[in-house]
A and B are shown apart, each in its own frame.
Chain A
């Protein structure tokens, strides 16, 4: 079973909600948290752990054996990314940055062995034990690489492979197809938003994506006293998503964030808010245990 924490806009406190919720849900489920914000993964920092058990994510990258290549250009024609350019005589060259590793070129090449399976490193996945009773899987895109999709997909598989009762994913901001990939197979999306015009605008996009994917969504309003909460309720209502929590702006949350000590483990009153979100999620999932 999978649930996702997402939010249209960056910096709304999505990761804060994700890690605190994971800690609170740990009492009810055997779970794994997957940080699929592969361009800027931060859950490990908020949990105060160092990434461990690194595994490379390598992609196919064509290498041409010019001794065998007949210069038929088929590989270049089929490449949707236009990653292969050909010289006047048909000699193919790869522009590695554009290559998505899909292997379409290899599939169409009529000459066995003209395209060799080279590899390029795109990023890494990590499996880190945390002191909170659940493991964290993290995907991390290499700087300078453009494609987040393979990392998201591989990190998600690694987390699924652990066979836990509950997989909680923390997605990137936005609504691109890598976010869809992270959300896919979720039973519930917890959309974290802010009541500012920007937060509302981006929050609506994530609700729209949830609707397209036919996944039920609930809304958590962060920094709820810094804007127009009624407007968030109104838009959530339009998408049939219930607002399950309002978290006011809190110095305590910021302090715990900065110290790497999750607020749900403290005695601050805000801890109760996250426990409340957790019990609403448990309710939605129909129990636990």
Chain B
């Protein structure tokens, strides 16, 4: 089974919840964890990973380059670039490598053949390790300024599937990126179900609703975990929304200083502070995941 943990908004505790859930399920289930937030991966940090066993460079991102020698400075490329990535610097037409999407429109419209080339560049790395908890983790890191492509996530999931075959693993748990863009779509697409994590604030509600629309787009069931559940007592709209949509609430985790403190210790909070209120709530959630989802 492939399950995804998503939130829409960053910073609501999705990865800390994921790390603790993995910790609680590790003895009973055989799974591979995938950190699909290639732009800001952090599951490795939360699981205390210190080294990678294997890394693969990912090329495939493309950027345009202009040869200033043959360029006749007609400006057509600049006019036609759909994303405004071509600037004039000291009289030369230059592609901003940090924003170029690699579509090659400039190369097609340039009247001087060979002036614009489309070069392959590295987009990041995909890497694998075995965590100290025994399960493997696949993670990726996008290079600074590269298109935030879903391809990286697809690559990660393919590697994870291969590992499942090799090691006889039953499940894949994907910690998706924040937002609703290509990485999130690549995470949710092909999964069996999504667990949404949200906190009771208007911003988190708005973002989790958007993430839920992506889940619905793929016609998958969704569940909800409410984090920092007591942090805004007057705010009931999150719960009401979940009830109205028929999204089962797996549990509520109270705001607990144990969580930020465990992050500094680079451990899942259920491991670092097993007696905390948050850990109690997390164990109940894991129980429901066992009974209702993994069965």
Q: Which residues of A contact B (CB under 8 A)?
A: 8-12, 15, 39-40, 42, 45-46, 60, 78, 80-81, 100-104, 107-108, 141, 143-144, 146-150, 153, 172-178, 180-181, 184, 196-198, 201-202, 205, 208-209, 212-213, 223, 226-228, 254, 257-258, 260
Please state if A40 and B83 are interface contacts (CB–CB under 8 Å): no
**B103, closest chain A residue (CB):** A102
Please state if A205 and B104 are interface contacts (CB–CB under 8 Å): no
Question: What residues on B are CB-neighbors of A104 within 8 Å?
Answer: 103-105, 108
Q: Which of A42, A176, A213, A254 contacts B207 (CB 8 A)?
A: A42
Known A42-B203, A177-B146: A150·B83 in contact at CB below 8 Å: yes
**A9-B203 Cα distance, complex, nearest whole Å:** 16
**A184-B96 Cα distance, complex, nearest whole Å:** 10
Interface-central residue, A39, A46, A103, A104, by most chain B CB under 10 Å = A39
**A181-B185 Cα distance, complex, nearest whole Å:** 21
Which chain B residues in 22-57 approach chain A with CB under 8 Å? 39-40, 42, 45-46
User: Which of B4-12, B65-73, B164-172, B272-280 is the contact stretch?
Assistant: B4-12
Please state if B201 and A258 are interface contacts (CB–CB under 8 Å): yes
User: Which of B210-218, B238-246, B283-291 is the contact stretch?
Assistant: B210-218
Does B100 belong to the interface (CB within 8 Å)?
A: yes
Please state if B203 and A174 are interface contacts (CB–CB under 8 Å): no
Please state if B231 and A101 are interface contacts (CB–CB under 8 Å): no
Interface of A is mostly: loop
Counting from the closest, the 5 A-B pairs by CB-CB distance are A11-B11, A10-B10, A39-B179, A174-B39, A176-B148
Question: What residues on B are CB-neighbors of A181 within 8 Å?
Answer: 83, 99
Contact bitstring B195-219, A, C-beta under 8 A = 1, else 0: 0000001110011001001100100
Question: What residues on B are CB-neighbors of A184 within 8 Å?
Answer: 96, 98-99
Please state if B82 and A174 are interface contacts (CB–CB under 8 Å): no
Interface Cβ pair total, 8 Å cutoff: 177
**A100-B82 Cα distance, complex, nearest whole Å:** 10
Contact bitstring B222-245, A, C-beta under 8 A = 1, else 0: 000000000110010000000000
Known A9-B10, A102-B101: A39·B178 in contact at CB below 8 Å: yes
**A178, closest chain B residue (CB):** B148
Question: What residues on A are CB-neighbors of B263 within 8 Å?
Answer: 196-198
**A213, closest chain B residue (CB):** B98
Does B109 belong to the interface (CB within 8 Å)?
A: yes
CB distance from A238 to the nearest CB of B (A): 15
Q: List 13 A-B contacts (CB under 8 A).
A: A9-B10, A40-B180, A60-B82, A102-B103, A104-B103, A104-B104, A147-B182, A149-B101, A174-B148, A181-B83, A197-B45, A198-B46, A228-B264
**A149-B102 Cα distance, complex, nearest whole Å:** 12
**A132-B237 Cα distance, complex, nearest whole Å:** 26
Please state if A196 and B264 are interface contacts (CB–CB under 8 Å): yes
**A223-B257 Cα distance, complex, nearest whole Å:** 12
Please state if B102 and A176 are interface contacts (CB–CB under 8 Å): no
Please state if A212 and B203 are interface contacts (CB–CB under 8 Å): no
Please state if B264 and A197 are interface contacts (CB–CB under 8 Å): yes
**A184, closest chain B residue (CB):** B99
Interface-central residue, A80, A176, A184, A212, by most chain B CB under 10 Å = A176
